Chains A and B, each alone.
Chain A
Amino acid sequence: MLRNFMRSSRVLARTPVVTRAWTPVRFYAAPPISKDEVTNRAFEALKTVAALQESKLDLNASFQKDLGLDSLDTVEALVALEEEFDLEIPDKISDEIKTVGEAIDYIYEEERKL
């Protein structure tokens, strides 16, 4: 009885225990974000700002001169961008951001730092 058990356990030891139905895959980080992607996502986020004139949305458009926003609407637009890209734009920098292009440049630089 014991011998039988020993023999069977030896057989068990020889056969590979782990049988994988799947091959292990190593997951790497996502490729860095492209500027087009930043631009598209920024435009989508900016379209949620109620006061913004969508038809004039453009890289060179100034928030206050072209898009018809006042200073508080601009703050709201930047909050929308912050939320979309999971960022915090410091007050000092948000004061200097006047156009959509500048905002996108800043976000792109921040995203590249990750």
Chain B
Amino acid sequence: MSVVSSVSPSFSAAHRIYVKSLYKRALVDSLNWYIRRDLWRNKAIEIRAEFERNRNVTDPRALASIFEKAEAELARTQHPDPYRPALFPDGTKWERNIPVSSSNAVPALRGIHDHESDRS
């Protein structure tokens, strides 16, 4: 469609980023449902085929409806207890053992002040 090709590049850039994020979310969510990566491969191929099917859609209205459907489907199949990397937000080790700040912000957490060294 001529409309899309003449649209400013920011649309296509934003569109590209959005599609990549959608693809990633679909992959990660499907990965949450599988315990073996080799079994998951088929699912990944399915997801990829889904994206390929709409590869040449350039009409913004058609795209919007496709995205809406895809988001709804993703929300429906969302894993109730998704895997989170341990050291990242929502993970079991997130923000554990943070180094204690020596700033004055939290006096109670400051190290004991060495008064002896002040005198000399």
Contacts and interface: CB of A to CB of B under 8 A. Distances in A.
Interface of A: 48, 50, 71-72, 75-76, 78-79, 82-83, 86-88, 91, 94-95, 114
Most chain B CB inside 10 Å of its own CB: which residue of A50, A78, A88, A95: A88
Given A72-B51, A91-B17, A95-B17, A79 B24 contact: yes
Contacts of A71: 16, 20
Interface residues of B, number: 21
Given A75-B27, A86-B85, A91 B21 contact: yes
B85 A72 contact: no
Contacts of A79: 24, 27-28, 31
Given A48-B37, A50-B41, A75 B85 contact: no
Given A72-B48, A72-B51, A87 B23 contact: no
Contact of A75 (B20, B31, B37, B87): B20
B70 interface: no
What's the dominant secondary structure at chain A's contact region? Answer: helix
Contacts, number: 43
Given A50-B41, A79-B31, A114 B87 contact: yes
A45 to B, nearest CB: 10
B36 to A, nearest CB: 12
Given A72-B19, A95-B20, 9 more contacts: A72-B23, A75-B20, A75-B23, A75-B24, A75-B27, A76-B23, A76-B44, A88-B85, A88-B88
Interface string B84-97: 01111100000000
